[in-house]
Chain A
Amino acid sequence: MSGTADPRLFAARRPPRRRISLSWSDPVLRSLVWQVVIIGIVVAVAWYLISNANRNLAARHIATGFGFLQNTSGVPIGESLVTYTPGASTYGWALVVGILNTLKVAVVGVVLATILGTLIGVARLSQNWLLSRICAVYIEVMRDIPLLLQLLFWYGLLQVLPVPRRAFHPVPGVFLSNRGILFPLLDWKSAHSWALLAFAIGLVLTTLWSRHARRRQEATGQRPPVWPVALALLVGLPVVVWAALGAPFHLDLPVLRGFNFHGGGSMTPEYGALTFGLVIYTAAYIAEIVRSGILAVPHGQWEAAGALGLHRGQLLRLIVLPQAMRVIIPPMTSEYLNLTKNSSLAVAIGYQDIVSIAGTEINQTGQAIEGIAIIMAVYLTISLSISLFMNWYNARIALVER
């Protein structure tokens, strides 16, 4: 079609408009008939199922629709990022709590699994035979045992921990008991917020400075110092701000009072087991992705970088990782999606994520169809957002070819 000839000369040669002939040997007609038949079957089956459902719901006196979300919920929820009181809050609000709990596991899990998985993937490529073998065994064992079994195992281990009065006390301020894991928390003052703001400003300035440094290097061949400036901006600035505001530093330590702990930060055994299990399971998959990504960079690239006189850090940062990332990102995206979907196993160990709370609501209200539709909508939204973000990132780092 895209020949060398001037298309204007050939305007008259467009194929004639096809007319559908009423013959079975006409592929257009055939495909039309097939589509009508199959869509017809699907619609008929769907209509049959829906009419069944309507009849059954009417027979059981279950109202349809999402009106129940406004009703007061009796779902007891153990841990929540927002205020929730059973008996006062609505079913809809309980679902929001569940979504936040799911996100809490997914976000923390994705970050930790990426770090751990990258470390293991790099260690798997180590020249040290023992280290590489151990990582291989770890990856194999993790991948060949169902995640649910692993979660039940970790949860079981956390449950046989002693009662709070005789909690494990490995380092000062940290307690492990069957009520969860307690750790010291920084007593947050306004000075800390200002220091955080200073850090953010430092981050922006560092980015600007490194961009300026690169431009200078490209223009003159001389690179202004970057690391000392970055260090001063990222560490020095917040510390100066913090010190100027009186340098408040007070740790809120968990203290045993009566039968339970007070103060400090805490992590429930459910959340701890779920996050830990998800992280070490997903890390095995991420490690394999990272390893194959690094191996996919041709050996000549390493040698060429070495020949240019780059030291190992530069070699990894400037040559190997940018190329490995292109191979790594697409499978990594699906691993993140898997982790998010796997967080729904929470229901088996009693962590109240969206599936668990929606399940309880289904039991309480009988609104099975709406409840499951909500679960699916939530996961589809999360999945879609993650893949959109990762696709955007992938497009950004993709090889730009002419």
Chain B
Amino acid sequence: MSQSQSQGSIDPRRIADVEPVPAIAGEVATPVYHRAQPRVGGLGPLGWARANLFNSWVSTAVTLVLVYAIARIAIAFIDWALVNAVWTVPQTATGPNTARCRDLMGVGACWAVIGEKYRFILFGRFPYEEQWRPAISILLFVGLYVVSAMRRFWRRELILIWILALAVIGLLMFGGVFGMTYVPTDEWGGLPITLILSTFGLALAFPLAVLVALGRRARSLPAIRLLCVVYIELIRGVPLISLLFMASVMFPLFMPEGLNPDKLLRAQVAIILFAGAYLAEVIRGGLQALPKGQYEAADALGLSYWQKTGLIILPQALRLVIPPLVNTFIGFFKDTSLVLIIGIFDLLNAAKVAVAEPAWQGFQNEVFLVAAAIYFTFCYAMASYSRGLERQFSRSARR
């Protein structure tokens, strides 16, 4: 980095080589090349280590302490997770015999619980024979994310792909046609629930957020503006849990008699309302960042409000906010785990319930680690994608 930068500019040392420092008050001028500092360390890995790990006493001490701590923790973890781990337990007539795991509790991990329960963690209480359906749904979701992440697919047809994929997923999960048995939503569970809540939540919150963001910016419509401000600030001021509580205990009260939408749908509505407020603020940032000239030019062309917004403003504003939007998505993906509190079987709740039965009680660390790994994979992929995108955008902006 510094190498490539210094090539363009003038290297101060090179000038110093030819020009001596001017003599001060009669002192003899010292040619500067005598004063040039030697390179710290030298080349190669040894030089790198000297510059980055041992360049001062403090740094050396910090490095040594850290290496010691990491080694201790790594050895302890490997002992627990690999060396002393129990990978399978014998099956008996009354269920798995976990005595060996219990003996080694705290000493070795009991990965047998994962082998025994992974279907439950991933798919919850979905009928065992039919679990290929949520499995395909998960793959479809991942495929949808990958396609949406590729810039060559960023065009109008992407919306069609989304509608199609979400429809197929809905079909697979509900069933009831093509010989698939009908599965009600309270039997759904595990990772598909997490993906459904976050993906459907964002897909539906997005149009809402665009409208609210536009409404908040509409100077000529003070009443609508006030409505949007109240909505955004109200939702952003309260925790998601209170909205989920509202969905689970208050929502039924507001419905006409006899109509009681199921729990998953109610939670989904709460998540959409929640996500809408946060996304609206992100989109508003993009609308504000757009130069005023764009608005005026669109007006000068005689475009109507919706033409101006759809053709000129939104395409640019949304492009600006893609990195923060991805970061918001990560937040919502994690926040869907809160539905555990109102008793919906998402990935986290399935993991929690998997170790509730007496035979496996106490092995929660193992299942939580696996669930954490799944969440981490999704979030890390999104985060590094967002960072890459930000780099690309800033490169094109600098050019």
Interface residues on A, range: 35 or more
| A59→B257 contact, CB < 8 A | yes
CA distance A177 to B385 in the complex (A): 43
Tally of contact residues, B, Cβ under 8 A: 54
| B238→A376 contact, CB < 8 A | yes
| A144→B376 contact, CB < 8 A | yes
The contact string, 1 if C-beta is below 8 Å from chain B, for chain A 211-243, is 000000000000000000000000000000000
CA distance A58 to B341 in the complex (A): 28
A128-B53, A156-B365, A362-B249 known; A39 vs B227 contact (CB < 8 Å): yes
CA distance A56 to B371 in the complex (A): 40
| B238→A146 contact, CB < 8 A | no
Q: Is B392 an interface residue (CB 8 A)?
A: no
Residues of the A chain whose Cβ atoms lie less than 8 Å from the Cβ of B237:
376, 379-380, 383-384
A131-B62, A149-B371 known; A56 vs B253 contact (CB < 8 Å): yes
| B365→A27 contact, CB < 8 A | no
Which residue from chain B places its CB closest to the CB of A141 in the assembled complex? B376
| B253→A368 contact, CB < 8 A | yes
CA distance A375 to B241 in the complex (A): 10
| B62→A128 contact, CB < 8 A | yes
| A145→B245 contact, CB < 8 A | no
| B224→A355 contact, CB < 8 A | no
Q: Is B170 an interface residue (CB 8 A)?
A: no
24 pairs, CB–CB < 8 Å, chain A vs chain B: A38-B227, A39-B224, A52-B256, A127-B59, A128-B62, A130-B67, A131-B62, A134-B70, A140-B380, A143-B383, A146-B337, A149-B368, A149-B375, A150-B372, A152-B368, A156-B364, A156-B368, A347-B241, A347-B341, A348-B340, A362-B245, A369-B253, A383-B238, A384-B237
CA distance A106 to B345 in the complex (A): 29
CA distance A384 to B237 in the complex (A): 8
Q: For chain A, what secondary structure do more than half of its interface residues adopt (helix, strand, loop), or is it mixed?
A: helix
B residues 85-109 near A (Cβ < 8 Å) are 106
| B238→A52 contact, CB < 8 A | no
Which residue from chain A places its CB closest to the CB of B382 in the assembled complex? A144
**Chain A residues packing against B (C-beta within 8 Å):** 27-28, 31, 34-35, 38-39, 42, 49-50, 52-53, 55-57, 59, 126-131, 134, 140-141, 143-150, 152-153, 156-157, 160, 341-342, 344-345, 347-348, 355, 359, 362, 368-369, 372, 375-376, 379-380, 383-384
Residues of the A chain whose Cβ atoms lie less than 8 Å from the Cβ of B181:
none
CA distance A375 to B246 in the complex (A): 10
Q: Is B348 an interface residue (CB 8 A)?
A: yes
Q: Is B223 an interface residue (CB 8 A)?
A: yes
Contact of A149 among B53, B252, B337 (CB under 8 A): B337
Residues of the A chain whose Cβ atoms lie less than 8 Å from the Cβ of B341:
345, 347-348
| A148→B221 contact, CB < 8 A | no
Find the residue from B55, B242, B255, B372 having the highest chain A CB count within 10 A: B242
Q: How far is the CB of B50 from chain A (nearest CB, A)?
A: 11
| B330→A144 contact, CB < 8 A | yes
Residues of the B chain whose Cβ atoms lie less than 8 Å from the Cβ of A144:
330, 334, 375-376, 379-380, 383
Residues of the A chain whose Cβ atoms lie less than 8 Å from the Cβ of B249:
362, 368, 372
Q: A129-B53, A148-B338, A375-B245 provided; 4 other pairs, C-beta below 8 A?
A: A53-B254, A55-B257, A146-B348, A368-B249
Q: Is B163 an interface residue (CB 8 A)?
A: no
CA distance A379 to B380 in the complex (A): 31
CA distance A147 to B372 in the complex (A): 10
| B375→A146 contact, CB < 8 A | yes
A140-B380, A144-B380, A156-B365 known; A379 vs B239 contact (CB < 8 Å): yes
The contact string, 1 if C-beta is below 8 Å from chain A, for chain B 251-283, is 011111100000000000000000000000000
Contact of B372 among A130, A149, A376, A379 (CB under 8 A): A149
Q: Is B362 an interface residue (CB 8 A)?
A: yes
Q: How far is the CB of A146 from chain B (nearest CB, A)?
A: 4
CA distance A33 to B227 in the complex (A): 16
| B250→A368 contact, CB < 8 A | yes
CA distance A39 to B227 in the complex (A): 8
CA distance A31 to B225 in the complex (A): 12
Q: How far is the CB of B9 from chain A (nearest CB, A)?
A: 14
CA distance A153 to B376 in the complex (A): 15
CA distance A140 to B255 in the complex (A): 43
| B66→A52 contact, CB < 8 A | no
Contact of A42 among B227, B240, B252, B380 (CB under 8 A): B227
Q: How far is the CB of B229 from chain A (nearest CB, A)?
A: 14
Residues of the A chain whose Cβ atoms lie less than 8 Å from the Cβ of B338:
148, 345
Residues of the A chain whose Cβ atoms lie less than 8 Å from the Cβ of B257:
52, 55-56, 59
